[in-house]
Structure 1
Amino acid sequence: MTTVTERAAVRRLRHAPEDRPMIVIWEVTRACALVCLHCRADAQHRRNPHELTTEQGRALLDDIAGYGAPYPIVVLTGGDPFERPDLADLVRHGSSIGLHMALSPSVTPRLTRDVLDELRAAGAGALSLSLDGNTAATHDAFRGVRGVFDATLQAAQDVRDAGFRLQINSTVTRANVHELPDLLRTVIDLGASLWSVFFLVPTGRGEMLQPLEPQEVEDVLHWLHDVSDLVAIKTTEAPHYRRVAIQRARARDDAPDSRAPAVGELHHELTAAVAELRAERHTAIRRPRPPIEVNSGRGFAFIDHLGDVYPSGFLPHRCGNVKETGFRDIYQASPLLRSLRDPAQFEGKCGVCEFRDVCGGSRSHAYAVTGNLLASDPTCVYEPTGQPEH
């Protein structure tokens, strides 16, 4: 049975995930001026002539809006979505039919205050920027272009001044994990409403970087839960953050089935590094924002620049194309997506874990390491204690 503690620790979707997604990511173009080391895509300097046209894009947005309320969040990403001259038209159309439109651009000379004002007026409400280190040396090395770190700090101010909700996205690897406490301070100082921490999936150019070891992942997840009273936290490709949230809530409530968190030296290091920040901001402590139960193909879907639909941008298994079949039909009927929404099909530890319904493991990490979408998530250290809860 789902306990009161679990319901409070993790937000449940307001609708059945097999009926509709909560978030749809649309890669409107793969063109981008940056060469990010961790990018899943082979970004190009020119737009692909076969990417969805303006009319096809409007038809896609109409199809998504056909779900009715509660409407999915539609995030226009890339590549760099600012490479599309019709971006404001797409945003305007989506917002006019009830969709919640958000943007995830690259920081390039195309990101100007005038363009931001135009997109805000068109109806976009949120915008995310990437910061993958707290120094120019770290971040610019990630992005492949010098000067992007300083430009991102300025862009963050422009984004907020234009009236957007600002989200900061950070990819964590073994090379930058020790910068997380300083990066947290920067995220707070920038006025971000959400910090999305992405756990590197070794795909695309990301194969050149070093992901965290499983115990390091666990330490970072516990640390992120610790600091979620300072800024809202979201994790990407680490759904076991929800398991951590439930475990921490049970331990706090002295639940009989609770176990002490298995944290290591990295957690202690990160915790000590934010002691001063926490002391400074003791009057600004906020109620933590519980994570939400969204996973690849389960409340989440990705559409690439050509119209192909995937469970996520890190799972290269095509489920259909919106030029041939409506997105809603693909999302509901795809055998692959249906399997990802059925935790009983998961294998290994994930298949018997008592948290499988609320977590499910990173399907992208499982596939990247084992070649099996339904395998156990190799980044999770948790050892299940019994049969799954229902």
Structure 2
Amino acid sequence: MPDTDSPSHGPNAASERGSRGRPDGVAPERGERGGQPGGPPDPSAIDTSRRPFVLVWEVTQACDLACDHCRADARPERHPDELTTEEGKRLLDEARSFGDGQLVVLSGGDPLARSDLLELVEYGTDRGLRMTLTPSGTNSLTPDVVADLADAGIERLALSIDGASAEAHDDFRGESGSFAQTVAAARAAQEAGVPLQINTTVCAATVDELESIRDLVADLGAVLWSVFFLVPVGRGRVLDPVSPERAEETMAWLSEVSESAPFGVKTTEAPHYRRVAIQRKRDASDAPGDDGIGRRLGITAGDGFAFVSHTGDIYPSGFLPQSAGNVRSDSLVERYRESDLFRSLRDPDALRGKCGACEFRHICGGSRSRAFAHTGDPLESDPLCAYVPDGYEGAMPSGRAGAD
């Protein structure tokens, strides 16, 4: 799913604007810029203490796949307490209250498990929301369905590819045929004129596939490659993450890829990608003068990002399942702006341990989701980060460091 955190780079990337200039880390289409009359809001003008760049609504946890990394621990059947169609429309009405051009990602599970999906897309589009979707690569995602989604107003389709071959991808996804179905859906998106994003999970089982996946992302004509560094939640708890050192090497490689790829590059749950990119540029002869990567900084859980679960719980991220309320009884806008949880996550000086002492905390801050998964405290240090601030002599992050 499109998630938080680091900026997109590359020829198609302008700031962290998302679909057609969207501020979700998804690269815009060529030639488009945010903030123009009738277009999406300029990301640089958005106050993330007042509204998120990205609002994800997990419309269902139902899915026919059994992916090894699934955050939702999805099951084939829909939950009986999912938000209803009318409750979902009320949620979209409130999302509109954040401001013009709010980006909404319909996620899952597999959103196509809901029979009212097209109705919800059309409803959000009619209210000026920028509706995007993260469907599963199953036989339900036919070219006709992709065309119907385009007609309903969907502005971005995000598909997951975790292996460059059918064997590698299908093994990770737990379903034979998933790779072929995903590639076919990507081709259908091209035919329908729907901008395509490819999501890839980085863990010990997939990291060696990244170079080949990069080539496939280009071949599919995607505008963004969103690279997710594993957080041990849901079924992902049984997977081995990469080590902090391998993560650092991978982020440096992604930064290099971003400089020449025909698509944007962003990371999810790896905000230290921003630090790595800045440090690379500082060491390079062509280093730009501003923030080291020439663009506005990214988003993190609770700061520019909000997540509503299938039953209405309000989370800073789908990977940080600590609730700040429920949309059935609480205002999403008020909870995002005023809850203690969200406010603390927007304060880099509230961070503890190594992250709290780091000079990059205002531009990185570490994955709050990973800190929560390992320690139960979203303000603790991120155990995937290899960087140690100069002079830091405190405790190192606890939790599993990862394996290659």
**2:314 matched to which residue of 1?**
309
SS in 1 for 2:164: coil
Within a 5 Å distance, the mapping from 1:86-97 to structure 2 comes to 86-97=116-127
Deviation by residue 1:315-347 (Cα, 9 ceiling, x = unmatched): 121110001012101111111111100111101
**1:120 matched to which residue of 2?**
150
One-letter amino acid matched to 1:250: R
Bigger fraction of residues in helix = 1
**1:14 matched to which residue of 2?**
45
Within a 5 Å distance, the mapping from 1:133-212 to structure 2 comes to 133-212=163-242
1:55 paired residue among 73, 79, 86 = 86
**1:271 matched to which residue of 2?**
none
**2:273 matched to which residue of 1?**
241
Whether the aligned pair in 2 keeps the contact of 1:58 and 1:93 (CA below 8 Å) is: yes
One-letter amino acid matched to 2:277: A
Total equivalences in the alignment = 348
Deviation by residue 1:24-71 (Cα, 9 ceiling, x = unmatched): 1100011111011100112121211211111111111111111222x3
**2:347 matched to which residue of 1?**
342
The runs of 5 or more residues in structure 2 that have no matched partner are 1-12, 17-42, 393-404
**1:5 matched to which residue of 2?**
none
How far did residue 72 of structure 1 move? 2.4
Return the alpha-carbon distance in structure 2 between the equivalents of residues 156 and 194 of structure 1: 13
Distance verdict in 2 for CA 1:289–1:155, change over 3 Å: farther
Return the alpha-carbon distance in structure 1 between the equivalents of residues 14 and 110 of structure 2: 35
1:353 paired residue among 354, 358, 363 = 358
Deviation by residue 1:172-214 (Cα, 9 ceiling, x = unmatched): 1112211111111011001010000000111111111110000
Return the alpha-carbon distance in structure 2 between the equivalents of residues 179 and 289 of structure 1: 29
1:28 counterpart = 2:38 = no
Q: Percent of counterpart pairs with the same letter?
A: 52
Whether the aligned pair in 2 keeps the contact of 1:32 and 1:79 (CA below 8 Å) is: yes
How far did residue 291 of structure 1 move? 7.2
Distance verdict in 2 for CA 1:386–1:68, change over 3 Å: farther
1:98 counterpart = 2:128 = yes
**2:251 matched to which residue of 1?**
221
Deviating beyond 6 angstroms after TM superposition, the runs of 4 or more aligned structure 1 residues are none
One-letter amino acid matched to 2:215: R
One-letter amino acid matched to 1:217: A
Within a 5 Å distance, the mapping from 1:283-302 to structure 2 comes to 292-302=297-307
Return the alpha-carbon distance in structure 1 between the equivalents of residues 217 and 295 of structure 2: 19
The two structures, once aligned, show a CA RMSD in angstroms of 2.0
TM-score (norm 2): 0.82
**2:329 matched to which residue of 1?**
324
Return the alpha-carbon distance in structure 2 between the equivalents of residues 136 and 106 of structure 1: 15
Return the alpha-carbon distance in structure 2 between the equivalents of residues 291 and 216 of structure 1: 26
One-letter amino acid matched to 1:198: F
Deviation by residue 1:218-271 (Cα, 9 ceiling, x = unmatched): 00000000000213101001001111122222222588x9xxxxxxxxxxxxxx
Whether the aligned pair in 2 keeps the contact of 1:343 and 1:357 (CA below 8 Å) is: yes
SS in 2 for 1:169: strand
1:42 counterpart = 2:73 = yes
The runs of 5 or more residues in structure 1 that have no matched partner are 1-7, 258-287
Return the alpha-carbon distance in structure 1 between the equivalents of residues 15 and 99 of structure 2: 25
How far did residue 171 of structure 1 move? 0.3
Rg comparison, structure with higher value: 1
One-letter amino acid matched to 1:339: S
Whether the aligned pair in 2 keeps the contact of 1:39 and 1:204 (CA below 8 Å) is: yes
